A and B are shown apart, each in its own frame.
Chain A
């Protein structure tokens, strides 16, 4: 319990650190939101000064940070200058789409990679295993941009899927068509995400299962006449779970931030395009909000992984007790 409390405290401190870092960067930045207005001859300098003071931009850094913390405590997370609205509802609307996309992709990734990794480990050295290890080491080293653009090119070239960008329409359509529309639009981004993520997970699962397969207790289990499938999934997999759980934590941690590129390439109306737009218009409270939300998931994902490891691996449990 003390261990949990400490990790939780550390997570909160980390989030505070991230927000301070963001504000420090805004201070060092030469560009300001109203710079473009300043170029407009129809807008007087007084108007800009008024606007700046209305949004509190003329205050020193510490005051602005204090205000932001207060607004974060009210679950607003600052005020978007471009959208003229509190940041949190803006983010939430888009984050829902992102999470829909990424959780689907994550579930699919794990449903594919876990059995595949175990299966490949069991067939070590055979043709299929070797072919897959070459393919996966190739896939792992290809940057995400290239995978995204290449898959998009394939889909567009052979018209495999109807492509449409823009907001998800919910009004005036029956729920069934809405679900259909959603599903067809999700196929490409989900495929990209699965491609990007699964190769590395399969490799790790395969490696850790291989390690356990060589231990004496597996041979003992085999010698008792326990079947292959039961040995693999009942005896080997739990013993090989630790690296997989850490990786699962990474997957959770990347739920918000991992799909930025994919969303932009596929025109998925998630958090990614919103933050990109906000970056271009230097709407920095929105950008900070996006960073904070994804940092929250990063920290939270790692926290959950820690807890799961604690539950799954007695060695860590005793080690954690020893340390205190």
Chain B
């Protein structure tokens, strides 16, 4: 159990670290176009050529033939590590040109192939992951903060506050969320800068989702409000704020943790779905959703299977989060004295 948790947390950490350091790991700028190689298949890494085996992997250039791309075997280009390339801001803070790997021009290394504009799919998956995952996490934070706030208020103060807040949760729970999200999006400007869309999206997704965490938190607050130590603290004259902070919030934290592991992948998927429809983050900024939206054309879907890479990344992320949610859930049940 413990090793499983450790492995999952390590995998999750590695995933997020890779996305955080997208600029370093990605060999190219995500918006840099290379019109000479549209829809190029993934570059093959070779270790063996006519002169025998090599320790350092190398690549060949793609050349366009009549029936698709062929490798130009006349020249081999070794893959270099720790190289310099296009400049980017590391962690969004300081400017650098350092990259994990690259090949000498004119060859290019596109591990997941290229899209219709010849942009490197591998770099775009990393940069797009930044947007999609950040949207998921930010929306989760908003939903959990609002949910915890209203849940604690409803559970702690009870009476009409509780009733009106719970009526509110019922209202939000009976919303068809994808339709409602589309509706809200319909009321927002269509062509706005990607940064603003990003903020609007995360706020809207997060604000629609406050109801379920609020209900769960309320349930826990209701039961912990009548515990003896809480009653004791109140009889000693502790203020509401003190009681909530010291005695009630720690109990709520477990539920918030499980909810976070459940909500983050769901909200990542929500962002992906909206961008897939063309209502989310716009081109040229990459997000997993708008990268997948080109696949709505059957011809692209048939011929260029490597463009499914963002879907693969999304699946990996979701599965890791789901496994973690299982683990967190069972640990929490184990700890709870009632069960």
Contact = CB atoms under 8 A, between A and B. Distances in A.
Given A144-B269, A153-B305, A260 B318 contact: no
> Contact size class for B?
35 or more
B186 A279 contact: yes
Interface string A234-278: 000000000000000000001011001100110000000001101
B319 A141 contact: yes
Interface string B177-219: 0111011111111100000000000000000000000000000
A288 interface: yes
Contacts of A257: 176, 178-179
Name A's interface SS.
Answer: helix
A288 B319 contact: no
A149 B298 contact: no
A29 B298 contact: no
A205 interface: no
Size range of the interface on A? 35 or more
Interface in B132-189: 170-171, 174-176, 178-180, 182-189
Contact of A146 (B279, B298, B315): B315
Interface in A16-47: 17-18, 21-22, 25-26, 28-31
Contacts of A156: 298, 301-302
B273 A295 contact: no
A25 B207 CA distance: 13
Contacts of A282: 186-187, 190
Nearest to B320: A141
Contact of B311 (A28, A146, A290): A146
Contacts of A26: 187
Contact of B183 (A152, A261, A279): A279
B277 interface: yes
Given A143-B314, A146-B314, A156-B298, A298 B174 contact: yes
A294 B180 CA distance: 9
B311 A145 contact: yes
B296 interface: yes
Contacts, number: 135
B176 to A, nearest CB: 3
B298 A294 contact: no
A129 B315 CA distance: 23
B203 to A, nearest CB: 12
Interface of B is mostly: helix
Nearest to A33: B186
B322 interface: yes
Contacts of B188: 29-31
Interface string A295-321: 101110010000000000000000000
A150 B314 CA distance: 12
Interface string A276-294: 1011101110011011001
Given A260-B178, A287-B182, A287-B186, A157 B171 contact: no
A110 B296 CA distance: 29
A224 interface: no
Interface in B296-337: 296, 298, 301-302, 305, 308, 311, 314-315, 318-319, 321-323, 326
Contacts of A53: none
B204 to A, nearest CB: 9
Contact of B277 (A144, A146, A264, A290): A264
A296 B289 CA distance: 29
Contacts of B122: none
Contact of B265 (A143, A275, A278, A299): A143
B186 A140 contact: no
B187 A261 contact: no
Contacts of B18: none
A298 B171 CA distance: 11
B295 interface: yes
A157 B174 CA distance: 39
A284 B187 CA distance: 8
Contact of B273 (A28, A145, A256): A145
A157 B305 CA distance: 9
B179 A18 contact: no
A288 B184 CA distance: 10
Nearest to A11: B174
Contacts of A21: 171, 175
Interface in B95-138: none
Interface string A135-159: 0011011111110011011001100
B40 interface: no
Q: What 7 pairs between A and B have smallest CB-CB spacing?
A: A29-B187, A141-B322, A257-B176, A143-B269, A294-B176, A279-B186, A17-B171
Given A31-B188, A141-B318, 13 more contacts: A14-B171, A26-B187, A29-B188, A141-B265, A144-B269, A145-B311, A146-B315, A150-B311, A153-B301, A257-B178, A276-B277, A287-B186, A290-B179
Interface of B: 170-171, 174-176, 178-180, 182-190, 265, 268-269, 272-273, 276-279, 289, 292, 295-296, 298, 301-302, 305, 308, 311, 314-315, 318-319, 321-323, 326
